[in-house]
């Protein structure tokens, strides 16, 4: 299950320090991680999606 970044819970100072690329590299679903999933795996996300952060096009 992917979790979304809750921008509405962060203050302006925290938002300016947030780096989407760093977050994605550490926690996001990318092609390498996707390929490690079992064939019958289901990817769930609570929405709304922050495209390019929690996952990138695969």
Q: What gap in Å lies between CA 10 and CA 55, rounded to an integer?
A: 20
- pTM score of the predicted model: 0.58
| pLDDT one digit per residue (tens) for the chain, 58 residues | 676 777 677 666 665 667 777 877 888 888 899 899 999 999 888 877 777 777 776 5
Whole-angstrom distance, CA of residue 38 vs CA of residue 35 = 8
Count of the separate structural domains present in the chain: 1
Q: Is 5 exposed, middle or buried (0-12, 13-18, 19+ CB in 10 A)?
A: middle
Here the CATH number for the domain that contains residue 31 is: 3.40.50.1370
Give yes or no for a contact between 42 and 15, defined as CB atoms under 8 angstroms apart. no
Supply angle C-alpha 50, 3, 37, rounded to 5: 100
pLDDT score at 35: 93
Residue 35 is part of which domain span?
1-58
């Amino acid at each position: 299950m992917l979790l979304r970044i809750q921008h509405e819970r962060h203050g302006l100072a925290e938002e300016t320090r947030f780096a989407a690329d760093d977050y994605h590299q550490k926690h996001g679903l990318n092609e390498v991680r996707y390929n490690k999933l079992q064939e019958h795996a289901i990817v769930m996300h609570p929405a709304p999606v922050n495209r390019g952060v929690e996952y990138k096009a695969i």
